[in-house]
């Protein structure tokens, strides 16, 4: 164990720059040239850093909010796209069934099935009435295309 002397007398204390009680005395402990800290500059840098951190956090929060809204919009668009695809498929099926119903064979079959048009039992032939014949003019020629040469 090290022993500490209680009654230690400082010799040449004036030459060495020591003080007796550093708590109550206002003297220099160490002599020499030291760069002084610029407290104003540090405070300005700290203020700028806090401002930039605040702006960055606001930008990050805005990015998260916009990402949330874009994802919800994308989900809604996907749901609408699925509904549109289902409606288009249903529309194609309905169009095919409508085309089948409108087909000539189907209409003719239904007409004959319900007997809406009655077929005559007997056909009567009648002599044609003599009328004054009008000449029918047939134009077999088609108009030719006239090519224009020039401007």
pLDDT in tens, 96-131: 988 887 787 777 777 777 776 666 778 888 887 777
| CA-based torsion, 7, 8, 11, 16: positive or negative | negative
- Whether residue 63 lies inside any domain: the answer is yes
Q: Highest-confidence range of 31-35, 77-81, 112-116, 128-132, by mean pLDDT? A: 77-81
Q: What angle do CA 141, 146, 147 make, to 5 degrees?
A: 145
- Whether residue 76 lies inside any domain: the answer is yes
Q: Which has the higher per-residue pLDDT, 101 or 135?
A: 101
- Whether residue 122 lies inside any domain: the answer is no
pTM of the complete model beyond 0.75: no
The whole domain housing 105 covers: 38-114
Instruction: Report how far residue 8's alpha carbon sits from residue 5's, in angstroms, rounded to the nearest whole number.
Output: 6
- Whether residue 21 lies inside any domain: the answer is no
- Whether residue 140 lies inside any domain: the answer is no
pLDDT band at 12 (very low <50, low <70, confident <90, very high): very low
- Whether residue 67 lies inside any domain: the answer is yes
Read off φ and ψ for residue 60, nearest 5 degrees: -65, -45
- Whether residue 43 lies inside any domain: the answer is yes
The pLDDT value recorded for residue 95 is 92
- Whether residue 138 lies inside any domain: the answer is no
Helices (H), 26-147: 39-102, 104-114
Q: Which has the higher per-residue pLDDT, 127 or 27?
A: 127
What domain count does the chain have? 1
The 3-state DSSP composition of the chain as helix, strand, coil percent (nearest 5) reads 50, 0, 50
């Amino acid at each position: 164990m090290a022993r500490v002397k209680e009654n230690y007398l400082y010799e040449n204390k004036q030459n060495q720059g020591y003080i007796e009680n550093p708590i109550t005395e206002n003297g220099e402990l160490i002599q020499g040239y030291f760069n002084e800290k610029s407290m104003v500059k540090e405070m300005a840098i700290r203020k700028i850093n806090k401002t930039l951190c605040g702006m960055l956090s606001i930008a990050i929060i805005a990015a998260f909010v916009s990402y949330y809204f874009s994802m919800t919009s994308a989900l809604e668009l996907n749901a609408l796209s699925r509904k549109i695809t289902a409606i288009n498929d249903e529309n194609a099926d309905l169009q095919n069934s409508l085309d089948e119903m409108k087909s000539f064979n189907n209409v003719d079959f239904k007409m004959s099935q319900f007997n809406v048009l009655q077929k005559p039992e007997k056909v009567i032939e009648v002599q044609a009435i003599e009328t004054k014949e009008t000449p029918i003019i047939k134009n077999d020629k088609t108009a030719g295309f006239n090519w224009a040469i020039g401007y």
